[in-house]
Amino acid sequence: MGTDSPLEESFGKYIWCELCGHVYSAAAWVAADNTCPNCGASIANARPWEEIRQLNPQYPVTPVEGTEYALYS
Ligand SMILES: [Zn+2]
């Protein structure tokens, strides 16, 4: 398996930005030169969606891209 995106390899399909709280696909981060497509935060501020979801089990497995999710809801 595997993907052709190193970002997706390390973060999974969706990435949550700890600066603005928005979630985008790994592909969208890559398209924005490995920055948050919403606020331009660097990859250092990226967290795997799965990690956010573990803190908030009610969050969907597949988030709505471009939506803001609180770290703790
Ligand atoms: Zn952001």
**How do residues 34-56 score in pLDDT, each as one tens digit?**
999 999 999 999 999 999 999 99
| Residues 16-26: tens digit of each pLDDT | 999 999 999 99
Report CA(69)–ligand 1 centroid distance (Å).
11
Residue 1 in this model has a pLDDT that exceeds 90 = no
How far does the centroid of ligand 1 lie from the alpha carbon of residue 46, in Å?
8
Euclidean distance between CA atoms 60 and 37, whole angstroms: 21
CA of 35 to the centre of ligand 1 (A): 8
Q: pTM for the complete prediction?
A: 0.92
Please report, for the chain, the start and end positions of each structural domain, with discontinuous segments joined by +.
1-73
Distance 60 CA to ligand 1 centre (A): 19
Write the CB contacts of 44 (distance below 8 Å, at least 6 apart in sequence): none
